[in-house]
Structure 1
Amino acid sequence: MCVVYRRHGLAEGEFDVLATLRRAGEPFERAPGELAAHTMVTTGAMTKRIDRLERDGLVTRRRSTIDGRGRVVALTGAGRELIDQAFTEHMRNERRLLDHLTPEDAAQLESLLSRWLAYFEAPVETAPEAATRGAAGRDA
């Protein structure tokens, strides 16, 4: 994957930002905080990514028309063209990797990855919840 990103002059995080903006649909823009949330990075890391992408002419930053204190990051024409090319190549590469699996193996891989992902996406239990659950389990 990273080879595909580098071929287009992008780091993985920059690809994520461009892809997130592209998925937003017309007019291909989001607030920096939304981008950080969607790509699961800190706002500081997002600022660095946006700075690089803006320097390369792939995104622009402007004041929000809704809240003059806020900013909006938008894809430029060059940014949209680049992410469309990079994403297409990325998907072609993923297809190439999966083509080596039988349909049965692909189904098994999907099942395993779904269970694995569900584990990491499960809500984190807080200490009071765990203590309550533990006490209830002992009383049974």
Structure 2
Amino acid sequence: MTARIDRLERDGLVVRRSHPTDRRGTLVALTPKGISLIDAMLAKHVENERFALAGLTMTEQQQLNALSIKLLADLKAQDGLRP
């Protein structure tokens, strides 16, 4: 994670700040340049999602959504149980 944040910081997309109540912690925030990049990429991401789901009916998309929510909830519940 540190290497990724280092690259984002080097590219001017994020800044690090000391955590106000925990000396061990660091907060990471998007810079204006990072926000602009996210805004630009979000539209492309949504377009890719629409393309990927185009072969499914609306009912199938709703079923996929419900199953995804169930899967993520189960994974979250099992987080402490991984080997």
Larger Rg: 1
Report the RMSD for the aligned CA atoms in angstroms.
2.6
- Asked whether 1:122 is paired with 2:53, we answer no
What SS is found at the alignment partner of 1:92? helix
Q: How does 1:1-140 map to 2 (within 5 A)?
A: 46-64=1-19, 66-67=20-21, 69=23, 70-123=25-78
Change (3 A) 1:61 1:116: closer
Segments of 4+ moved more than 6 angstroms: none
Paired amino acid for 1:93: N
Instruction: State the identity as a percent.
Output: 47
Gaps of 5+ in 2: none
Paired amino acid for 2:31: T
Paired amino acid for 1:63: S
How many residues are treated as equivalent by the alignment? Answer: 80
Change (3 A) 1:50 1:125: closer
Higher relative contact order (CA 8 A, sep 6+): 1
TM-score for the superposition, normalised by structure 2: 0.70
